[in-house]
Amino acid sequence: MNLLHSGKVRDVYADGDDLVLVASDRLSIYDVVLPTPVPDKGALLTQLSLWWFEQLSDLVPHHVISATDVPAEFAGRAVRCRRLEMLPVECIARGYLAGLGLKEYQRHGSVSGVELPPGLVEGSKLPSPIFTPTTKAPVGEHDEFMSFAEVEALIGADRAAQVRDLTLAVYARGAETAAAQGLLVADTKLEFGLDPSGEVVLADEVLTSDSSRYWPADRWAPGGPQFSFDKQFVRDWSAGLDWDRTPPGPEVPAEVVDATRARYVEVYERLTGRTWS
């Protein structure tokens, strides 16, 4: 296998006509890779993605060929995938106001050009889920919000409408599924590519704790930070540091690593009904 790309969390290898996508235990926040890994994180992300790809297969085709036909050293945290022409847009759906979406709303009253009602606060549920795409920034740089018109200009109007509709459909299915387990999906980030026939295919990861904000429904309280089953916990920890959110990232204390891993495990177990060992 040949290493094609090493991203913030995943490494992509070429293996004949296929790709092998390997999830590491690396942790990134604010587009900066931190020096401290989270044990089992790569396997947890991979296994949760595989579960979600199955749940969503009737909505959109996905890139997975096999979760077992991978090199032994990557077993459990790698997926053999189809090669795709990846679309140069991060497709984000938001059902609640948090993170960079909240900051964008506070500045402009809108997110990615989507006007929102006045008076919303951190954690507010939006009137309906919205599509808030961003650029795909290189490692160490920050994604920037895009308007829908900018997405249309980049990939064409028909394709832009298709990925917007698919993003919102995946979010709706994910939110409904999670709600049955007492979880809210505040937002989620998806990536799509095109297969040789031009069909849009869901790729990378889907509805994981790295690509989504999960909140316990029984603790949801708009007006401040929410308890999160995702890496928001690490973002919150880093807020108390003298760090400007540029590389190099800070070392993460063991207790923060352990608490973060526990959150990843709990989301996996609650959603899938399986026990993580």
Per-residue pLDDT in tens (0 to 9) along the chain, 277 residues: 899 988 888 999 999 999 999 999 999 988 899 999 999 999 999 999 999 999 999 999 999 999 999 999 999 999 999 999 999 999 999 999 999 999 999 999 999 999 999 999 999 999 999 999 998 866 556 678 999 999 999 999 999 999 999 999 999 999 999 999 999 999 999 999 999 999 999 999 999 999 999 999 999 999 999 999 988 889 889 999 999 999 999 999 999 999 999 999 999 999 999 999 8
Positive or negative, the Cα torsion across 234, 240, 245, 249? negative
DSSP characters over 47-106:
HHHHHHHHHTTTTS-B-EEESSSS-GGGTTSEEEE---EE-S-BEEEEEE--HHHHHHHH
- Does residue 97 sit in the same domain as residue 212? yes
Question: What is the domain range of residue 99?
Answer: 85-219
Report the distance separating Cα 269 and Cα 265, nearest Å: 6
Q: Is residue 242 part of a domain?
A: no
Q: What's the predicted TM-score (pTM) here?
A: 0.93
Both structure tokens of 181:
């387990």
Give yes or no for a contact between 196 and 205, defined as CB atoms under 8 angstroms apart: no
Q: Is residue 239 part of a domain?
A: no
At residue 258, the 3 state secondary structure works out as: helix
What is the predicted pLDDT for the residue at 114? 96
CATH number (domain holding residue 91) = 3.30.470.20
Number of neighbouring beta carbons within 10 Å of residue 256 = 18
What is the predicted pLDDT for the residue at 176? 98
